[in-house]
Every structure is written in C-alpha cells, then in structure tokens.
Amino acid sequence: LTIHGTYFSSKDPNHVQAVQDALIMIDSKGIIARILHRKDPEYAKQLQVARQQERLVELGADQYLLPGFVDLHVHAPQWPQAGLALDLPLAKWLNHYTFPLEAKLSDPTYAQKVYQDFVHNLLANGTTAALMFGTIHFSANMILAKESVKQGLRGFVGQVVMDNPSTSPEYYRNSSAQAALSSTEKFIHAVRDLQTQSGQTIEPVITPRFVPSCTDEALFGLGRLAHQYDLPVQSHLSESNWEHGYAIERFGQRDTEVMDHFGLLTKRAVMAHGTQLTKDDWRILRERHSAIAHCPISNIYFGNGVLPVKQLLALHNQLGLGSDISGGYTPSLFHNARQAVKSSQQLTDGVDNQLPAEKRGVAGSRITMANAFYLATRGGAAALGLKTGVIQAGYAADLQVVKMHRALMPLSTADIFQRLMYQTEQTDIETVFVNGQPVYQRN
C-alpha cells in the first residue's frame, strides 16, 4: 500500500513535522518502508507504479494523514455509562454507578455487546492502540481481547484486581487475593495464546485497580507476576485527594511509594491521573521509567486538580494521553488534546481565586497543541514500547485520514494542524489503518 498526501507527525514533545505531498510506502508487514518527498528523484516513478498496481490511496485536497492515537488509559466496561453521573465525587461515582455496571459484565452476552461497540468506537475516533481496564471477570476480559483482535485494535487488556472488602462491595470483588492472582495468571496465558494464534498485538496487563482496592497480598502477588512475565502494569495513582490521603492513612506512605514498595513501578508501568503527586513522586516515576497517563477531561471531574504537564515534560517524565472512559465522557483523543491545552491554562495553586486576576494561574504552565499531540501519539507509544505513533520509516503504519472543515481563508500547514486538532469530530475521520490494514471506514 502507498498513501499519497500531506501528513503531520510529532518530532519531539514540542514540535510537529508537516510534510506536503509525500508518498508513504508501506510494506507487506504493515511497516512504513520509505517516505518519498516531492523533490525525491524516484517520486514520480513510484507514484506511477503505485497507481498502475492499484495500491495507491490518494488523499483529497481537504484530507490529511495523522498517526493513529494511543489511548493510554480507558475502561472498556464503562462505555455504556459514558457521560453519566460526572457531578459525583469519585468514591460515590464508583460505588453507585461504576461497580454496579462493571458487575454486569459477568454476563458474556452483555460483555460481547458492550465490547464490540466499544472497540468500534475507539477505532472510529482514530485510536489505534489502547491500554484498557476490563473487569474482574476472566471470560468478559477474553471477549474484549478477542474483539480487539477481530477489529484490528492494538489491545492491551487488564484483568482488574480488587479484593479489599473494606473498599469493594461483595457483589463485585475477588473472593480472595489468591483467587485474584490465579485468575490473573490464567488470563496471562490465555491472552498470550491468543497473541500467538493471531499474530496481532494483544497483550495482558497487570491491573491492580488502585491501592485502596487491593490487599497487601494482592499488591505483592501482582508485583511478582509483573516481573515474572515481564508484563505492562496499569493502575490509578494519586488521582484525587481521597485516594492520595488513603495511602497515607493505611501505609503511612504516599500512593507512589506504596506502588513502588510492591514492585509495581516498572519501565512498563502506566499510572493514570497523578494530579496529586508530589515532586518526589515525579522523581520516583522517572527513576523507574514508569509513565503517567494524563486524562484531562476526567481530571476536571474527579482529579481535584490539573496535572502539570509542562513541568513534567521538562523533567523528562514519560507521559501519554488517556480518555479514561467513563471518568471522561468521550473516547476522542482529539477532545482530550483540546482539554489538555485548556486545563494547562487554568493550572491553579488552589487558592488563587483570592488573587487579582493577573496573578492567577501558575507561570510557565501552558502547553501547546504540539505538546498534546505528542502525548496522544509518540508519548503513548513510547510508554507501551510500541514502534508506532510516528509517521516515519521503520514504524508501523497505524494511521488516520481526517477531513478538514472547509477553509474560508488561506491556511499555512501550521494553521491546518491547529484546525485539524481543534475541529476534527468523529464524522471527519474517514479511514483508519492499523499495520497498513484498513480497520475503519466511514460510510
């Protein structure tokens, strides 16, 4: 396959590369083999060859190519309640909405219905790889893994562990730490078998829901499994004042120190939210090469604060972007990128509404759309160790073709990038490729 058109790709956390009229040549394994520019001596010939062999995708004048997005934190079973009950505090939202809904996924018929629609909606929003929470149910999690393979999403699926009776209701918790750990181990083997059979990216993920949900025994056992099988780890970390305070009360240590103590901060770990982390926590995460999934829409509702993305990028902490369905209401990382920029402009120190307007906010905290785009593509891919998220030779062809809204004035390529990032809706996403294969086509 060869794609002919203009593309945008993240160069580094601060810069976006725009290339006009490129020929992106994808090999039979789905990897970008070469990118030819107009000036290239072979350009005209290769364009003609691809045309003759009818393996050319020609982008229209208002169409642009972007890398597929990496959703670094999303709850698949919460898809049916996206947009609901966001006015509640986190603990109430979990107990009154989220746990009852997740418990229903024990029904395989319902799980199939939800996960089929969920995976389709991720792809339809330009997301080509996702680090997902499932539920505590082995069978439902396998349905999610199989649905990801079937529809072509690069899936990282976690079997949730929550065995602490003091924070998890009887109708939705693991019966014991031992039961949770042996079911997790069974899940690891089953997903690895699926990966071998399908030859696609589908990986099991060690998933303690968050520190409050788990007993010491479960946290210890999950840390051991993460190392034994060299698996990615995902959890929530210092998301809210409540969660941050909980760890200090139970362990006399911060959330990050507890996770680290149990061996859960690995170079393949992704911790969601982190709005309440201290600078010392940032340092621990850097030293362990663990990533933070920034979930800017969700954080507005449950985060009790704004993640200081600019400062974290400057310190070289690893960051990506997450939709956190359904703490966030949309699977669109376009929408989350917009919120990341907006939230960074409102970063406050908590008391600055008492200050004169010109003194509010934290100086030097504003991020650009190029920063947010980096999180949604390159940053997320790096956190998962994926060679994707960038339009460059040697990277997997995970791509989205988007249609720009009608331009009524001349636009530079820099303007076009802004416009695409600010205005693209699901209905503007026309084709999505994973590994060079079309996985979504708008009709």
How many chain residues are in contact with Fe ion, going by CB under 5 A? 2
Binding-site partner at residue 239 among Fe ion, ligand GUN, none, CB < 5 to 8 Å by type = ligand GUN
Strand order in the sheet with 291-294: 69-75, 127-133, 154-161, 202-208, 233-237, 269-273, 291-294, 318-321
Q: How many CB atoms lie within 10 A of CB 350?
A: 8
Q: What's the min distance (Å) between Cβ of 134 and Fe ion?
A: 12
Give, in order, the Cα–Cα distances in Å from 69 to each of 141, 267, 357, 398.
22, 21, 36, 8
Establish if 324 lies at the interface with Fe ion (CB under 5 A): yes
> β-pairing, 202-208 with 154-161?
parallel
Euclidean distance between CA atoms 49 and 167, whole angstroms: 63
Q: For 93-153, list the strands marked E by DSSP.
A: 127-133
Q: What's the min distance (Å) between Cβ of 245 and ligand GUN?
A: 14
Nearer to ligand GUN, 281 or 324 (CB): 324
The dihedral over CA atoms of 299, 302, 305, 311, expressed in degrees to the nearest 10, equals -40
- Find the binding residues for Fe ion in span 352-391 (CB under 5 A): none
Give the nearest residue (CB) to Fe ion.
Answer: 324
Burial state string for 169-198 with b = 16 or more CB within 10 A and e = fewer than 16: eeebbbeebeebbebbbebbebbeebbeee
Establish if 102 lies at the interface with Fe ion (CB under 5 A): no
5 within 8 A of 19, measured Cβ to Cβ: no
Residues in contact with ligand GUN by the rule CB under 6 A: 75, 90, 94, 98, 209-210, 236, 239, 298, 302, 324, 327
Nearer to ligand GUN, 75 or 173 (CB): 75
- Find the binding residues for Fe ion in span 39-98 (CB under 5 A): none
Q: What's the min distance (Å) between Cβ of 84 and ligand GUN?
A: 13
Nearer to Fe ion, 324 or 398 (CB): 324
Establish if 243 lies at the interface with Fe ion (CB under 5 A): no
303 within 8 A of 239, measured Cβ to Cβ: yes
Establish if 255 lies at the interface with Fe ion (CB under 5 A): no
- Beta partners for residue 156, in sequence order: 131, 203
Q: What's the min distance (Å) between Cβ of 308 and Fe ion?
A: 19
> β-pairing, 127-133 with 69-75?
parallel
Q: What's the min distance (Å) between Cβ of 155 and ligand GUN?
A: 18
Binding-site partner at residue 209 among Fe ion, ligand GUN, none, CB < 5 to 8 Å by type = ligand GUN
Give the nearest residue (CB) to ligand GUN.
Answer: 327
- Find the binding residues for Fe ion in span 268-287 (CB under 5 A): 272
Nearer to ligand GUN, 245 or 438 (CB): 245
Q: Which residues bind Fe ion (CB under 5 A)?
A: 272, 324
